[in-house]
Amino acid sequence: MELKDINIQDTLMVECKILNNSKLSKGIGKIIPNDRTYIFKGVELSISDTAKKRDLDFYLSRGIAHLAEVETMYKNTIILRCCFFANEIIVLNEDTHIYINPDKIKNKKAKKDDKNLNQYFEELAKKCHLIYSYKDNKETYFILQANPDIFIPDDEINEELKQIQDENNLEITSENDDKATKKNAKLKSKIRSEMENENKQKIAFSVYGTNIRIDVEKWKTGIGFSATRFVTRKNKKQEPNYILIKGCLKFSNEKTAISDFTKKKLEEIKKQSGSYLDAWDKYANERGENLLKNARNFGTFKIENIEIVSETKDSYKLFLKEFDKQKLINHMTIDITDEEPLFLRKEDLSWSEYLNEKLIEDKDKNKILKDISKEKQDEIKKTKNCKIQTSDGNSITIECKYNLLKLKIKNLLIHFSTFGEEVQLKRQKIAREAINQGRSGIPYLSMLLEEKGQIFQYQKIENKRFKISTKTFDKIFKNPPTDTQRDAIKMALQTPDIALIQGPPGTGKTTVINAIVEELNNRYDKKNNTTGAILLSSYQHAAVENIIERVRINSLPTPKFGKKIDGEEYRGHIEKWTNELINTVRKQNPELKFSAYDLELKSAYAKYKVVPSPANKIRFLDKLLQEISLSNDLRKKIDKAREESLELSYSTDQLLLQKIRALRTNEVSFADDGKERCKDLLYDLENEENKKVLEKYAYSSELPSNNDLQALRGLKQELLHQVLPKPMYLKFEVDKNIQDLYALAQKEIKMNKSKQDKTLLTQYEYLEHLESNPMGLNTAINDCSFAISATAQQAEGGDLKKFKNPFFIDDKTLELFDTVIIDEAARATPPDLLIPMAKARKKILLVGDHRQLPHLIDEELEEKVIESEKRSSKSDDSNIKEYYNLSMFEHMFKRLKELEKSDGIRRTITLDAQYRTHPLLGKFASDNFYAKNNEAFKSPRPAEDFFHNLDQIENKACIWLDVSKNYGLESRSGTSWIRNAEIIKIVDYLEKWKKSEQGKNLSYGIITFYKAQSDKIKKEIKNRKIAEKNIKVGTVDAFQGMEFDIVFLSAVRCNKKKHYGFLTMENRLNVAVTRQKKALVFVGDSEFLTSEDARLESNIPAIGNFYDLCKENGVIL
């Protein structure tokens, strides 16, 4: 850097003579008065201009810091630039650290890798340093400005303006609109003023360099400073408040610095005592050790022979050299391989050691996989995690997607499959290490998570102008959002790191999530890549699917990555969206069916060009002859070409092939003539199973949905595979005569086409892509989606990693999202929840309710960890049991409230109005499960909204179906419980209401706490042949997030020992009594369930309260 790069107010340009023919070196120096002359870098100078000499003496006499440099030099005359600073020189003995977030750097090359980034920092330091060098003396200086004029770039102003316009649903006006332009100018001025005031409070100083100014604030994490803005505009205005510092600037990566700081603080926390996350690390480690123990105990079994089980697809019988029925258990999973696995080759490895070695081994194997055949890759992948279906004295029957008959029996063996659980634990380890080492998207995330973690102090920014944009308001909310919903959205958008929304049942958690994603999209800088900016996640597939059914950003469905084991990818919502779009296009353009021929002709010619076989040539010519506008002369030429082609064509049953291809396999086309096309083919089939499938569709009384047509799609593919001839390995070339005929035909067709026809053809092509190119459509949706989704585990899955980074190699590199939103967060275990949390670059939003179902934990493993801790002399963590009972959601609920006390930033909120259920039932849930924790909520909808008109219950919302112990007590069923008397009563009322005019279209949920009871209710419904549409039966664990018009809750427990079982679990009971919209029917023995003992606080007082409610405001049957 040079002094002329900075426009310092007190600058003198002084002409000087070099005395004694001395030589003057380049660079900066200080001026030292010497009687009537001056010394500069060891050279004596004289000044002839008296006025300039007087000015120079004046500034030098003040004792303030100064530097000078030679501006120009001619022989023995120089022009010296003398700069005087605001006060004395400040000497710093240590480097001044300025941390820079790479996201603020516009130079793309610099951000390419660590090497380039470090090089960029070194170059930046050179730009900002002034070097004084004389003889052996070398000094480094830099210049800062204490209270700089705030410069806000226009793009930041425009972005803020756009946000306001989005919030208020204002259209961006054209420049010609004078009134609107003035209004925008006024608004911009106001925005600039507000942003300048905000920056004045925040910026500590600015550092100057060659063509750059760096605005700096105190680093919030530790000692040092951080860069907030880079200004490359040259400051033309002379300013006085520059300060000269003797010392060095050190620029470095803020994320790396935060990581180092975080690691250091985390180690301090761990030394003090055990922590919440440390406890879960121990649990994960114990889970790994247990996995290895089970795998090693199982050992290996050699395979002697393999047979396919003809009755069942993908089933094979493995004959084993030795057999152990104690080990070979039905439903367990095994791997088939020809080499001994690592955990048996090295039995002394601990879980941690094993996982590290396994990661290296897998990396080496993945490199080899790239160089082997697709067949071998399939073999390696598909022979893992095979489920044992049955076993006998010397063989097991397994399910496997690979043709095991292709395998060489020699050296083939089976071993316990660690694959599924190993993948889960590996993903947890990658996320945990990233958080521990400060490599997560938010580098200081571990400090936010740990109860003793210290985070830096944010400047509290309150956007008083905030309001939900009209666009979001109109799209998302059927009713005006409550004040709390508005506050939740505002909090989520303004949080500097984590926000938590607790949503009691029916309070609109999903609606709030939807609105937040919409608002994030509205505010996003569209100059940046918007694809996959948001990750929507949850603990299981059903919960993720529930969110994405509702979230459509920019009118597109939200893609989901990852699938259930052996399941298909979830595309139901995309198929629904596609069908809606197809129906809209068809409805708006009924004449589209007439333009189908044009597209079919184009498609036939394209197929012929790709594969110019005789068969494709004939198909194309046949299609061409269907065009009625062709001249007779051209028809004759086409006929002749067709006859010549027939001689070369191989034989196939064209009529049968036509009939198979004519099968309609989507909802819209099937509605047109689907049944007729099925009937056309029916009598040509010989296979009875195929006939049954076709008859089902040919004579169906109802139109099938896209999901219902899955079997027909499968049959069509199977028949095509059978009928299409095997390929002839001949090399065909495109016939020039055919090309000429097509060109002539196109010319004649175009002469007869109107502009309207061409528009229809374009629309038909669009429609055809929607109907026939699901893979292409899926790719297009993925590429354009602002939000994507995955389960917590699949957030680290291969599909999502490849989508975010198609060239990813290193498993440890996290693919980051601007914002991560996790629904049902209270149900995920901390190790799983940390996987998506680690991927958030700016914000994490946790949504859930810790008063409902908790996370699941293996109690046996929990006890092992606790026992191990008790035996360990180095640890005395009395909190560990409490930690395992505490969900991450509840832990963060408490932790974020503590943080609010220290920095004043609100990060938690509880939604306080439910709209799902009858106000009477809403108040019951609030009073019994939430009010005691200061989380009460309102039920603003009127009771009339929930009338059902069902017989015997007179529009009442709370019903007790009393099943006295005289009808029979509970009974054991394996490890579960059943009560037959309750089953009969429930199914009696269900059957009655389901068949009634008032109840036939209602939805019914039947909830119990015991699987055996659930299974028996299902069986009874089936036995009575009750239509199962709109009925769901199951245990309470499967019902969170669901809602039904009418809910039956089967208590099951009825005994003489006063044992209440799962009914005492308040969070489960809460879920069970909050699934209904119109009415809750509690089924059980009132005498047993509402006794004095039952009403004790430690037992089931809420059930007694519900019985009282039924007596006062409901019905007892």
Q: What is the pLDDT of residues 887-941, one digit of tens each?
A: 999 999 999 999 998 888 899 999 999 999 999 999 999 999 999 999 999 999 9
Positive or negative: CA dihedral 261, 266, 269, 270: negative
Candidate ranges 299-308, 444-453, 745-754; pick with highest mean pLDDT = 299-308
Residue 1067 has pLDDT above 80, yes or no: yes
Average pLDDT score over residue span 443-465: 70
| Tens digit of each residue's pLDDT (9 = 90 or more) over 883-900 | 899 999 999 999 999 999
Residues in the chain, overall count: 1117
Q: Is the pLDDT of residue 751 over 70?
A: no
Q: Identify the band that residue 593 occupies on the pLDDT scale cut at 50, 70 and 90.
A: low
Q: Which of 59-68, 650-659, 729-738 comes out lowest in average pLDDT?
A: 650-659
pLDDT tens-place string over residues 127-181: 999 999 888 888 999 999 877 777 777 777 777 777 676 656 554 444 456 676 7
Query: Which among 515, 546, 548, 557 has a CA at the least distance from the CA of 1042?
Result: 546
Q: Please give the structure tokens belonging to residue 523.
A: 């505010």
pLDDT at 371: 67
DSSP string, 414-481: EEE--HHHHHHHHHHHHHHHHHHTT-SSSTTHHHHHSTT---PPPPP---TT----HHHHHHH-SSPP
pLDDT digits (tens, 9 = 90+) for 340-367: 999 999 999 999 999 989 888 887 777 7
Q: In which residue ranges of the chain is CATH 2.40.30 found?
A: 291-416
Statement: 291-416 belongs to CATH 2.40.30: yes
At 852 the pLDDT is 93
Find the helix or strand (DSSP H, E) in which 740 lies. helix 736-751
Residue 498 scores a pLDDT above 90: yes
Q: Which residues of 842-874 are buried (b: 16+ CB within 10 A; e: fewer)?
A: bbbbbbbbbbbbbbeeeeebbebbbeebeeeee
pLDDT tens digits for 508-537? Answer: 999 999 999 999 998 887 777 788 999 999
pLDDT at 137: 84
3-state helix, strand, coil in the chain (%, to 5): 45, 20, 35
Q: From CA 828, how far away is CA 822, in angstroms rounded?
A: 10
Written as six digits, the tokens of 779 are: 């790719």
- Whether the pLDDT of residue 651 is over 50: the answer is no
Q: Is 915 left (phi over 0), alpha (psi -120 to 50) or beta?
A: alpha
> Letter for the amino acid at 863?
E
157 C-beta neighbours (distance < 10 Å), count: 16
The residue among 636 and 651 whose pLDDT is bigger is 636
For residues 414-424, give the mean pLDDT. Answer: 93
Q: pLDDT at position 727, please? A: 44
Task: Compute how many other C-beta atoms are within 10 angstroms of the C-beta atom of residue 406.
Answer: 10
429-559+785-850+887-910: CATH homologous superfamily? Answer: P-loop containing nucleotide triphosphate hydrolases (3.40.50.300)
pLDDT at 729: 42
| One CATH from 3.30.559.10, 3.40.50.360, 3.40.50.300, 3.40.50.740 for 919-1116 | 3.40.50.300
The tens digit of pLDDT for each residue in 254-311 reads 777 766 666 666 666 655 556 888 899 999 999 999 999 999 999 999 999 998 886 5
- Whether pLDDT at 502 is above 80: yes
Mean pLDDT of the 1085-1107 span: 96
Cβ distance 983 to 970 under 8 Å? no
pLDDT band with cut points at 50, 70 and 90 for residue 31: very high
SS3 label, residue 533:
coil
- Going across the sheet that includes 1031-1035, the strands are 1031-1035, 1004-1008, 1044-1050, 1076-1084, 958-962, 1115-1116
- Does pLDDT of 755 surpass 60? no
Strands of 224-363 (E only): list them.
Answer: 225-231, 242-246, 249-253, 300-308, 315-320, 333-337
pLDDT class of 199 with cuts at 50, 70, 90 = confident
Q: Is the pTM of this model over 0.75?
A: no
d(CA 19, CA 43): 8
Question: pLDDT for 809-831, tens place per residue?
Answer: 556 667 889 999 999 999 999 99
Sheet holding 37-40, edge to edge: 28-29, 66-74, 77-84, 11-18, 43-46, 37-40, 31-34
Q: What is the pLDDT of residue 175?
A: 46
- Token couple for 1012: 């055996």
In this predicted structure, the answer to whether residue 808 has a pLDDT above a threshold of 70 is: no
Q: Quote the CA–CA distance of 784 and 880 in Å, as a whole number.
A: 45
- Contact (Cβ atoms closer than 8 angstroms) between residue 828 and residue 431: no
To the nearest 10°, report the CA torsion of 797, 798, 801, 803: -120
For the chain, give every residue range classified as CATH 3.40.50.300.
Answer: 429-559+785-850+887-910, 919-1116
Specify whether the backbone of 224 is left (phi greater than 0), alpha (psi in -120 to 50) or beta. left
Cα 124 to the center of its chain, rounded Å: 36
User: Mean pLDDT across the chain, nearest whole number?
Assistant: 85
End-to-end CA distance of the chain: 90
Pairing of strands 90-91, 386-391: unpaired
pLDDT at 1053 over 90: yes
Return the half-sphere exposure (C-beta side, CA atoms, 13 A cut-off) of residue 437. Answer: 10
Q: Distance (Å, rounded) from C-alpha 914 to C-alpha 938?
A: 6
- How confident is the model at residue 235, as a pLDDT? 66
Cβ atoms 950, 999 nearer than 8 A: yes
